[in-house]
Amino acid sequence: DTEVTQTPKHLVMGMTNKKSLKCEQHMGHRAMYWYKQKAKKPPELMFVYSYEKLSINESVPSRFSPECPNSSLLNLHLHALQPEDSALYLCASSQLQGGYQPQHFGDGTRLSIL
Amino acid sequence: AQTVTQSQPEMSVQEAETVTLSCTYDTSESNYYLFWYKQPPSRQMILVIRQEAYKQQNATENRFSVNFQKAAKSFSLKISDSQLGDTAMYFCAFMTPSGTYKYIFGTGTRLKVLA
């Protein structure tokens, strides 16, 4: 069973639409991550939140806007996306204490931009 | 800058046989963590095994084991008694205690287990 839950599983949107991706975990993890993954490629880190504060932004275009409203939730707001933004978007979480803990990933949201 | 290299884009193995996936990395750090993740067609990235650099003993998880050669900066994954469910993309990942909790991934090896 997936301990990191992402919704929706699939999303098709036009370039002028506004939508949001959601991620939820109840493992008490205080670090949460957004990745973008193209087919047959490794995940590319987009954002990292630690203790609900944005700690890493990997020079992601402003049409992607992350939000961490509490320690269990992570959102990714999408606006005016481009066709090249079509990809699998993965959320992950990890503990921040006790050494360097592995990240736990969700199933991802498959995003298609028309 | 750290890099992770997986030199085998695709591999195949017969069911019940053993296969080894290679991973090399480059870093000037002495303390770091290494991970193998599996990503089946179902998409979820699943942790297979992890290794702390300060531990000389190779990590083992059931049919999965690693050969960690710190001096050679090598971290290979051995899958014993391969099963059809092992068919997946396998990513090697590296993390340093830089405070950013950031993975550096290799390009992946696509493994197909044949019946």
What mean pLDDT value characterizes chain A? 92
How does DSSP assign chain A, residue by residue? --SEEEE-SEEEE-TT-EEEEEEEE-S---EEEEEEE-TTS--EEEEEEETTEEEEE-S--TTEEEEEEETTEEEEEEES--GGG-EEEEEEEE-SSSSSPPPEE---EEEEE-
Check residue B56 and give its pLDDT: 85
Contact between B52 and A2 using a beta-carbon 8 Å cutoff: no
Residue B109's H or E segment, with its range, is: strand B109-114
Check residue A22 and give its pLDDT: 98
Nearest CB among A50, A103, A108 relative to B103 is that of A103
Asked if residues A113 and A38 have their Cβ atoms less than 8 Å apart, the reply is: no
Check residue B97 and give its pLDDT: 73
pLDDT in tens, A56-79: 888 899 999 999 999 999 999 999
A88 vs chain B: nearest CA distance in angstroms? 9
Closest by Cα among B36, B100, B107 to A47: B100
Nearest CB among B37, B102, B107 relative to A45 is that of B102
How far apart CA B102 and CA B91 sit, in angstroms, is: 15
Asked if residues A78 and A13 have their Cβ atoms less than 8 Å apart, the reply is: yes
pLDDT in tens, B76-104: 999 999 999 999 999 999 988 765 668 89
For chain A, say whether B34 makes contact (Cβ under 8 Å): no
Segment among A33-37, B41-45, B103-107 with least mean pLDDT: B41-45
pLDDT in tens, B1-54: 789 999 999 999 999 999 999 999 998 888 889 999 999 987 899 999 999 998
Check residue A62 and give its pLDDT: 94
Check residue A1 and give its pLDDT: 52
For chain A, say whether B62 makes contact (Cβ under 8 Å): no
Nearest CB among B101, B105, B108 relative to A94 is that of B101
Contact between B44 and A2 using a beta-carbon 8 Å cutoff: yes
* Chosen from A105, A107, A111 to mutate, greatest number of chain B CBs within 10 A: A105
